């Protein structure tokens, strides 16, 4: 059974159509990369799934329920955790506070802290640097640390699906490696489903899993990332773009 | 000579224009271009009610020149642009007398509209010299007494009767009225031998706190004998409360603007507090007719007068009607001429004088109300030793 | 980068907007004339004055997207300049003894006074704009408010030149409707000419796509300053005529109440639309007038105390909220009134959602 | 010494006001011009509707331990009501539209009060025991001033604790900084916004209470002046920054008092021109505000 199902999703901003008739399914436990050039509509798609900008038409199901047009907080509470582009940390909050924001939804005021403590420990175990600096302001962290923080923060909500927009953006390659290493490990540990948006397909080919290639708001290719790397269609898709 | 004749022609054409259109044989019309809403309403309505009482009395006694007085109204909404419209509205409705808002600033647009139509205008209770010839034109009057007279009265009275020698001057720069009180005080102080100003300061009516001003008073070597407080509601209550809360017990002298007992609960047990009034609302006026009027006012409106600003409305209709009676017509120039002949004309609330130079009172008999332990009462009456010269008022 | 928006062709394509607005204004004037009622005449004069002020606001706020709370300050400058220039010297000597001698002796006709008042306001707009317009967003809004408060404090206290808080009287009253009509039409055309000028187009481009506009060499600060000065001049002219309409100026006339009513009219009409500016005034003013008539309709006998005070204002507030709830971008949103047949290819030409030009995107 | 107290007590009012405006601004980018009218409303809630000059006291005579919660509740209640009826419909509208809507709402509240109470300022005696002077470190200071300062500090501490220690506070701070992100973490938008309105309303009521006991007056326009200053403080303090709002509020109060003390008598009426001049200078040198949260960008 698919965890996430998109059918005929179209997203318009005024007269501009960002996403046109996109449809795909995501199976529980799967790892899916969405790649494609700038302006392909990848981020718009993620924002639609998270409920931030609902699609103009089409339908999104999550865990068997229709979530089209639901509010972001409802969708988050159903188990979709979103790591948007640009690492939106809460700069004035401390690291620990950042991590705690998303834990409120599963707890009452009284037992909130104690219930979150175990999760917190788990995240600190995954990203020890966060524990070390847990009382400093998140705005002061480096880019890589912020990326770890937002992933950790997403994990704290105990999600079934994590959707990450450009985890490697602005990070040094070795930091990116670390981030992915953790993600893969987490997926194994927690039976997480991952939806990762990346501009380049190289990372997808390294990690493996399924990949969707988008361009101009439409899905061009959908298949196994490693197999696709060799295909001619893939080359063509990329050469079609890049004259700028 | 030539100028004079041109002026005459202008005046004639004004009246010629104004009278025939609306001349109605059987009634006289008084137009109120006053605030029926907005904050001026609180000041206009009581005075207007008092004016209505006098109109009622006249009508009951057979009317004016044998005609009944009718009233038309237009709301200024406490807005100047609306004021001009209201003025035009009542003039167009045929008003022989245009009554405008209590405050000069809010009444002036309507008064100017009346003036340009050649009508007499009367400010209900404006206390700036501009409410008259100086700020509107030769057909405009005010029914109250200049603010400067209040300041001068308080200075002279406290010097003579309370032996006050050191004065502190605290001015709220919000309105002309406030400045007028302090101007009168400034005029009188140098005339009082041995009296001195030990300090002065300003504040704004809307200031949430005047702590800094109070600190300045407290840093004086000795508490002044009297603080001349030139302000009005609502800031006055705040200022008085803060002065007393800071432990300053000097006598506080004020203008008539703070008359009334409705606010005294805000400053519990207020004492040593003096206000000049034209008549007493506390039932202890030396003139029993005033107390009788208060009862009449209560019968008409359902409440006691809340401040002395009720009274000028009554005086206004009174003096105007007398002038009309003497002139035998409501025609503007004739009535103005009669009004300008009034010298210490007795009214229920003290004598009134109008001259060709000043359509306002630069001297008046004031009752002094003293508040002790939160209870106000008349303790004295005072008329300044000499009227304040117009030249001093205009500076 | 080809430029299809050559001024001449843009002018031809968009001229219908100011013409329609002019027609509306003339119609109002004719109604006033036909009614023959002096108070109604005064009401229409009031509407024209507000048109001038709101169009003045539109020139800066509408084109730059920066909310300004300070423009009524220029109206204040204009109103007092008119008083200085047109009052009889005798009155000035008593009321405003601090004026320099040459100004004291001067007595200009009202129209000349209004023109100079506009220039005077524009001059100060240039000075303040130079200082303030490097700011943007809400910081700029607050800075303009601080400017208004400074002007107000100074005019409320400079006894010898502005007579402080007391009313300055003796300003010749102009009760005929035509000068106000002409000024309102003039300000509509000024706003239109600015909107289609290179400066206006660049400013709107910068409003919609700041990064792109900056990349293509638009000097945002300069373009804003131009709009600020032009709108300052219009506001100054409005202030001068305001003074002549009632014959009195005081500083508190030109303060928060006027600021908020004019801003409300602009926002309700549609902040980015010249037609919206004019219609906002006409619609809200008509509403106010209609409510007054309703109120007066209840008049019985000699008193009008029948309706509780404030009901009219409450209705007005609620209507404004409802309009905004259903049309968050105002009645006209971002579009303009145009002849149906002259509808240009890009209907939002005037309002300036110019599509990002090619070659600008990275 | 005395001047310090003066500055602190005036600053307290501005700081509380700025905090109320910053709270709402943070979560929904709304510059709430109705805030001043919430202040007035809370005071009038103590009176029976009447157009007489003498105030008919209703709840104003309650003992202080009932009076204070009552007033705070009224402010919070009205504020929440405004959000439910009006502002909810303006979620995501552009700031100018929301601002004018809030202004129109304030207008409605003000004239509603005018209808019930007339425009005449009313005098009320709230907590009269506070009008006595007390002796502190050799200076005789009105007790109310002391209580104002102490209460403000207490409110600030309580609010800080609330924002730092509770889940709701944490969610509110996160939402103030990045509303969308907070929602994507499951923070309920309506609850947080409502909470912000309730807190802001209670703060407005606290100001109303202090103002009314200090001035002894209930005036339908009484909130306006404080709100304007608070609004300015919010901006120069740094958008959405609560500590910045408080700091700027105190600074504005201090600037006002210091200028009143130092300026010569002829320049004193121009005091506000100097204060606003200083505001412009601060804005030019620190357009992002005195305390700008790291990593935040202006979203207006």
The DSSP-derived string for B91-120 is: HHTT-SEEEE-SSHHHHHHHHHHHHHTT-E
C313 falls in which pLDDT band (50, 70, 90)? Answer: confident
Q: Which residue of B has its CA nearest to C163?
A: B176
Paired tokens of C56: 């003045």
Contact list, C250 vs chain B (CB under 8 Å): 80, 105
Confidence of residue B395 (pLDDT cuts 50, 70, 90): low
Residue D56 has pLDDT above 80, yes or no: no
Highest-pLDDT range among A48-57, B38-47, C230-239: C230-239
How many Cβ pairs closer than 8 A exist between chain C and D?
136
Q: What is the pLDDT of residue B389?
A: 92
Determine the Cα–Cα distance for residues B104 and D274; give it in Å rounded to an integer. Answer: 29
* Domain identity same for B315 and B212: no
Chain D partners within 8 Å of C264 (Cβ):
100, 103-104
Q: Please give the pLDDT value at position C348.
A: 44
Asked whether the beta carbons of residue B394 and residue C164 sit closer than 8 angstroms, the reply is: no
| Residue D296 placed within a domain | no
Residue, of B238 and C293, whose pLDDT is higher: B238
Q: Does D100 touch chain C (CB under 8 A)?
A: yes
Whether pLDDT at C342 is above 50: no
- Whether residues B376 and B260 fall in one domain: yes
Residues B248 and B167 in one domain: yes
In a domain, D162, yes or no: yes
**Contact call for residues A149 and A89 (beta carbons, < 8 A):** yes
Q: Is the pLDDT of residue B119 over 60?
A: yes
% pLDDT > 70, chain B: 93
Torsion sign, CA atoms B97, B98, B99, B105: negative
User: Cβ contacts (< 8 Å) between A52 and chain D: which residues?
Assistant: 180, 183-184
Task: Indicate the average pLDDT of chain A.
Answer: 84
What DSSP assignment string belongs to B212-260? HHHHHHHTSSS--SEEEEE--TTHHHHHHHHHHHTT--SEEE--GGG--
Q: Which of B173, B212, B218 sits opposite D257 (nearest CB)?
A: B212
Chain position carrying tokens 């169009």:
C55
With an 8 Å Cβ cutoff, the interface of chain B facing chain C consists of: 36-38, 41, 70-75, 80-81, 83-86, 88-89, 91-92, 104-105, 108-109, 112, 116, 128, 130, 134-136, 173-176, 179, 394
Flag whether C293 is in a domain.
no
State mean pLDDT over B49-68: 93
Q: Which residues of D touch A138 (CB under 8 A)?
A: 295
Say if the Cβ atoms of C329 and D231 lie within 8 Å. Answer: no
Output the pLDDT for position D296: 44
Is residue C283 one of the residues assigned to a domain? no
pLDDT at A172 over 60: yes
Phi, psi at A59, each rounded to 5°: -145, 140
B243 and B297 together in one domain? no
Do B378 and B258 lie in a common domain?
Answer: yes
Q: What is the pTM of this model?
A: 0.83
Q: pLDDT-based confidence at B5, cuts 50/70/90?
A: very low
H or E element at residue A151 = helix A143-156
Residue D123: pLDDT over 90:
no
pLDDT digits (tens, 9 = 90+) for B302-322: 888 988 999 999 999 999 999
Q: What's the maximum distance between 2 C-alpha atoms anywhere in chain C?
A: 74
Q: Do D108 and C311 touch (CB under 8 A)?
A: no
Contact D184 A52 (CB under 8 A): yes
Which residue is it, tokens 């007005």?
C316
Separation of alpha carbons B119 and B111, rounded Å? 9
Work out the angle between the directed axes of helices B104-116 and B80-92 (0-180°, nearest 10).
40
pLDDT at C76 over 90: yes
Question: At D133, is the pLDDT very low, low, confident or very high (cuts 50, 70, 90)?
Answer: confident
Query: Is C146–D279 a contact, with Cβ atoms under 8 angstroms apart?
Result: yes
What's the start-to-end Cα distance of chain C, in Å? 14
Helix/strand number for chain B, H first, E second: 12, 12
Q: Does D268 contact B218 at a Cβ distance shorter than 8 Å? A: no
Which among D53, D40, D46 has a CA at the least distance from the CA of B237? D53
Burial of C357 (0-12, 13-18, 19+ CB in 10 A): middle
- Give CA separation, D139 vs A45, A242, B15, B190, in Å: 67, 77, 67, 34
At C7, the pLDDT band (50, 70, 90 cuts) reads low
pLDDT tens string C157-204: 888 888 887 788 888 989 899 999 999 999 999 999 999 999 999 999
Domain region containing C211? 7-258
Among B72, B85, B130, whose Cβ lies nearest the Cβ of C167?
B130
| Other residues' Cβ atoms within 10 Å of the Cβ of residue D61 | 12
For B236-289, write each residue's pLDDT tens digit: 988 998 899 888 999 999 999 999 888 888 888 899 999 999 999 999 999 999
pLDDT of residue D216: 81
Residue ranges making up the domain that contains D155: 2-223
Cis bond leading into B71, ω under 30°? no
Spans of all domains in chain A = 2-88+159-240
Please indicate, yes or no, if residue D212 is contained in any of the structural domains.
yes
Q: How many domains does chain B have?
A: 2
Closest chain C residue to the Cα of B72, Cα to Cα: C302
Cβ-based contacts of D183 with chain A (< 8 Å): 52, 71-73, 76
pLDDT > 90 in chain B, percent: 66
The reply to whether residue D2 touches residue B267, judged by beta carbons under 8 angstroms, is: no
D284, part of any domain: no
Is residue C116 scored above 90 in pLDDT? yes
Same domain, B225 and B371: yes
Residues B278 and B209 sit within 8 Å (Cβ to Cβ): no
Number of domains in chain C: 1
∠ CA B214-B215-B220, nearest 5°, is 100
The token pair that represents A65 in the structure block: 């329920």
Which of D167, D174, D185 comes nearest A109 by C-beta? D167
Assess whether pLDDT exceeds 70 at residue D299: no
| B124 and B175 share one domain | no
Q: Does A166 have pLDDT greater than 70?
A: yes
What does the pLDDT read at residue C307?
54
Q: What's domain A2-88+159-240's architecture?
A: 3-Layer(aba) Sandwich (3.40)
With 60 as the cut, is the pLDDT of residue D152 above it? Answer: yes
Asked if the Cβ–Cβ distance from D189 to A50 is below 8 Å, we say: no
**Hey, which of B12-26, B166-180, C115-129 has the most confident mean pLDDT?**
C115-129
B140 and B176 belong to one structural domain: no
Quote the distance between the C-alpha of residue B332 and its chain's center: 23
Residue C157: how many other CB atoms lie within 10 Å: 22
* Of the candidates C232, C228, C230, C236, the residue with the CA atom closest to the CA atom of residue C117: C236
D262 shares contact with chain B (CB less than 8 Å): no
A73: Cβ contacts below 8 Å, ≥ 6 apart: A105, D183, D184, D186, D187, D188, D189
pLDDT tier for residue D218 given thresholds of 50, 70 and 90: confident
B136–C165 C-beta distance less than 8 A: no
B357 within a domain of the structure (yes/no): no
According to DSSP, residue B292 is labeled H
Residue C6 pLDDT grade (very low, low, confident, very high; cuts 50, 70, 90): low
- Residue A238 pLDDT > 90: no
B249 with B237, same domain? yes
D180 domain-assigned: yes
Instruction: Give the least confident one: B197-201, B280-284, D162-166.
Output: D162-166
- The arithmetic mean of pLDDT across residues A93-102, rounded, is 90
Confidence of residue C331 (pLDDT cuts 50, 70, 90): confident
Q: Does D192 fall in a domain?
A: yes
In this prediction, residue C2 carries a pLDDT of 43
Residue A212 β-bridge partners? A34, A222
The whole domain housing B71 covers 2-145+289-340
**Nearest-Cα residue of chain D relative to residue B239:** D215
Q: Is the pLDDT assigned to residue C130 strictly greater than 70?
A: yes
User: Are the C-beta atoms of residues D264 and B202 closer than 8 Å to each other?
Assistant: no
CB nearest B41 (choices: D119, D144, D256): D119
Q: How far apart (Å, rounded) are the C-alpha atoms in residues C275 and B47?
A: 45
Cα–Cα dist C337/C20, whole Å: 7
| Percentage of residues in chain D having pLDDT higher than 70 | 90
Q: Do C38 and B134 touch (CB under 8 A)?
A: no
Note which residues in 118-177 of chain D have CB less than 8 A from chain B. Answer: 118-125, 128, 130-133, 140-145
CATH number at residue B266: 3.40.50.2300
B80 neighbourhood in chain C, CB within 8 Å = 246, 248, 250, 253
Q: How many domains does chain D have?
A: 1
Q: What is the predicted ipTM?
A: 0.79
Q: Is residue D74 part of a domain?
A: yes
What per-residue confidence (pLDDT) applies to C352? 41
Q: What is the mean pLDDT of chain D?
A: 84
Query: Could you give the 3-state DSSP secondary structure of residue B139?
Result: coil
Average pLDDT value for chain C: 85
Q: How far is C336 from chain D (nearest CA, A)?
A: 19
Chain D: give the shortest CA distance to residue C45, in Å. 25
Which residue in D75, D36, D74, D88 sits closest to D194, CA to CA?
A: D88
pLDDT-derived band at A60 (thresholds 50, 70, 90) equals: very high
Sequence-separated (6 or more) residues with CB below 8 Å from residue C188: C18, C21, C22, C25, C51, C55, C274, C278
């Amino acid at each position: 059974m698919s965890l996430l199902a998109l059918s005929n999703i179209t997203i318009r901003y005024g007269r501009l159509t960002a996403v046109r008739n996109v449809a795909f399914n995501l199976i529980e436990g799967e790892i899916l990369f969405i790649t494609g050039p700038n302006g392909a509509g990848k981020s718009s798609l993620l924002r639609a799934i998270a409920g931030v900008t609902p699609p103009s038409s089409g339908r999104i199901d999550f865990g068997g329920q229709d979530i089209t047009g639901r509010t972001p907080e409802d969708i988050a509470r159903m188990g979709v955790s979103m790591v948007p582009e640009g690492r939106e940390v809460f700069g004035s909050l401390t690291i620990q506070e950042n991590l705690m924001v998303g834990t409120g939804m599963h707890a009452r005021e009284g037992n909130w802290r104690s219930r979150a403590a175990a999760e917190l420990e788990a995240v600190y175990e995954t990203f020890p640097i966060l524990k070390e600096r847990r009382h400093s302001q998140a705005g002061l962290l480096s880019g890589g640390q912020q990326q770890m923080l937002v992933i950790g923060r997403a994990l704290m909500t105990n999600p079934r699906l994590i959707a990450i927009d450009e985890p490697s953006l602005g990070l040094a390659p070795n930091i990116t490696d670390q981030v992915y290493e953790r993600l893969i490990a987490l997926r194994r540990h927690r039976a997480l489903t991952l939806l990762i948006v990346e501009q380049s397909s190289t990372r997808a080919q390294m990690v493996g899993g399924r990949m969707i290639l988008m361009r101009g708001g439409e899905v061009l290719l959908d298949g196994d990332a490693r197999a696709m790397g060799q295909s001619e269609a893939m080359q063509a898709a990329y050469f079609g773009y890049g004259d700028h | 000579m030539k100028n004079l004749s041109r002026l005459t022609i202008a005046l004639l054409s004004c009246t010629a224009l104004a009278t025939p259109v609306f001349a109605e044989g059987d009634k006289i019309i008084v137009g109120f271009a006053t605030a029926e809403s907005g904050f001026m309403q609180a000041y206009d309505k009581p005075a207007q009610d008092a004016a209505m009482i006098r109109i009622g009395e006249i009508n009951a006694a057979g009317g004016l020149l044998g005609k009944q007085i009718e009233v038309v109204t237009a709301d200024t909404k406490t807005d100047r642009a609306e004021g001009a419209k209201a003025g035009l509205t009542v003039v167009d409705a045929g008003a022989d007398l245009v009554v405008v808002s209590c405050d000069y600033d809010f009444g002036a647009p309507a008064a100017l509209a009346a003036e340009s139509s050649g009508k007499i205008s009367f400010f209900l209770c404006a206390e700036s010299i501009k409410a008259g010839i100086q700020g509107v034109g030769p057909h405009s009057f005010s029914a109250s007494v200049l603010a400067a007279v209040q300041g001068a009265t308080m200075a002279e009275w406290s010097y003579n009767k309370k032996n006050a020698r050191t004065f502190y001057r605290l001015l709220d720069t919000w309105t002309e009225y406030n400045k007028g009180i302090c101007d009168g005080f400034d005029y009188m102080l140098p005339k009082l031998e041995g009296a001195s100003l030990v300090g002065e300061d300003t504040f704004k009516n809307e200031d949430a706190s005047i702590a800094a001003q109070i600190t300045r008073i407290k840093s004086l070597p000795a508490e002044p004998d009297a603080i001349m407080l030139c302000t009005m509601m609502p800031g006055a209550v705040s200022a008085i409360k803060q002065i007393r809360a800071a432990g300053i017990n000097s006598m506080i002298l004020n203008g008539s603007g703070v008359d009334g007992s409705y606010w005294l609960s805000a400053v519990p047990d207020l004492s040593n507090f003096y206000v000049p009034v034209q008549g007493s609302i506390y039932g202890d006026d030396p003139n029993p007719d005033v107390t009788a009027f208060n009862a009449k006012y209560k019968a008409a409106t359902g409440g006691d007068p809340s401040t002395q600003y009720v009274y000028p409305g009554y005086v206004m209709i009174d003096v105007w009607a007398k002038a009309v009676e003497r002139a035998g017509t409501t025609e503007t120039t004739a009535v103005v001429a009669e009004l300008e002949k009034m010298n210490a004309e007795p009214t229920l609330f003290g004598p009134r004088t109008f001259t060709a130079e000043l359509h306002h009172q630069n001297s008046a008999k004031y009752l002094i109300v003293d508040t002790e332990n939160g209870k106000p009462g008349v303790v004295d009456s005072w008329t300044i030793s000499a009227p304040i010269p117009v030249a001093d008022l205009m500076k | 980068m080809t430029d299809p928006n050559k001024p001449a062709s843009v002018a031809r394509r968009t001229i219908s907007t100011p013409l329609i607005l002019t027609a509306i204004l003339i119609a109002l004037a004719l109604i006033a004339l036909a009614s023959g009622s002096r108070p109604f005449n005064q009401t229409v004069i009031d509407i024209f004055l507000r048109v001038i002020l709101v169009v003045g606001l539109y020139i800066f706020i509408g084109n730059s997207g920066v909310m300004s709370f300070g423009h009524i300050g220029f109206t204040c400058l204009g109103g007092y300049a008119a008083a200085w220039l047109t009052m009889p010297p005798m009155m000035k000597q008593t009321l405003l003894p601090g004026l320099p001698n040459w100004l004291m002796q001067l007595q200009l006709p009202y129209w000349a006074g209004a023109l100079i008042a506009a220039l005077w306001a524009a001059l100060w707009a240039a000075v303040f704009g130079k200082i303030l317009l490097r700011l943007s967003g809400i910081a700029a809004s607050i800075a303009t408010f601080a400017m208004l408060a400074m002007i107000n404090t100074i005019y409320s206290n400079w006894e010898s030149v502005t007579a402080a808080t007391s009313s300055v009287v003796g300003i010749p009253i102009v009760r005929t409707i035509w000068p106000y009509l002409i000024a309102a039409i003039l300000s509509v055309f000024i706003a239109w000419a600015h909107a289609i000028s290179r400066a206006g187009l660049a400013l709107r481009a910068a409003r919609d796509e700041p990064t792109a506009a900056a990349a293509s060499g638009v000097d945002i600060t300069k373009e804003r300053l131009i709009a600020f000065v032009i709108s300052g001049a219009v506001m100054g002219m409005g202030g001068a005529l305001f003074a002549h309409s009632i014959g009195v100026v005081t500083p508190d006339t030109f303060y928060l109440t006027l600021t908020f009513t004019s801003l409300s009219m602009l926002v309700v009409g549609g902040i980015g639309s010249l037609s919206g500016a004019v219609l906002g005034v006409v619609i809200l003013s008509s509403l106010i007038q209609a409510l007054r008539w309703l109120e007066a309709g209840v008049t019985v006998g000699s008193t009008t105390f029948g309706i509780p005070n404030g009901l009219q204002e409450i209705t007005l507030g609620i209507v404004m909220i409802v309009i905004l709830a259903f049309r968050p971008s105002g009645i006209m949103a971002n579009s303009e009134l145009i002849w149906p047949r002259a509808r240009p290819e890009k209907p939002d030409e005037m309002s300036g959602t110019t599509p990002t030009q090619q070659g600008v995107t990275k | 010494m005395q001047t310090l107290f003066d500055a602190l007590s005036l600053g307290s009012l501005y700081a509380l006001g700025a905090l109320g405006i910053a709270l709402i601004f943070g979560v929904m980018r709304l510059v709430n011009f109705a805030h001043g009218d919430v202040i007035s409303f809370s005071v009038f809630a103590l009176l029976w509707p009447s157009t007489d000059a003498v105030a008919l006291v209703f709840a104003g005579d309650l003992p202080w331990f009932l009076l204070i919660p009552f007033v705070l509740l009224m402010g919070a209640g009205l504020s929440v009501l405004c959000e439910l009826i009006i502002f909810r419909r303006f979620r995501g509208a552009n700031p100018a539209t929301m601002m004018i809507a809030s202004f129109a709402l304030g207008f409605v509240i003000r004239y509603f009060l005018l209808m019930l109470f007339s425009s005449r300022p009313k005098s009320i005696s709230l907590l009269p025991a506070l009008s006595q002077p007390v002796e502190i470190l050799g200076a005789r200071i009105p007790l109310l001033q002391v209580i104002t300062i102490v209460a403000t500090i207490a409110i600030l501490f309580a609010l800080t604790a609330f924002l730092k220690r509770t889940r709701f506070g944490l969610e509110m701070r996160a939402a103030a900084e990045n509303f969308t992100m907070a929602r994507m973490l499951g923070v309920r938008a309506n609850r947080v916004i409502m909470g912000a309105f309730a807190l802001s309303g209670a703060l407005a009521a606290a100001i109303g209470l202090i103002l009314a006991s200090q001035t002894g007056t209930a005036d339908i326009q009484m909130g306006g002046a404080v709100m304007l200053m608070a609004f300015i403080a919010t901006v120069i303090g740094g958008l959405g920054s609560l500590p910045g709002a408080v700091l700027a509020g105190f600074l504005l109060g201090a600037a006002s008092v210091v200028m009143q003390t130092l300026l010569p008598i002829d320049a004193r009426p121009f005091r506000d021109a100097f204060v606003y001049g200083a505001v412009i200078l601060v804005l030019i040198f620190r357009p992002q505000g005195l305390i700008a949260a790291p990593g935040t960008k202006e979203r207006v």
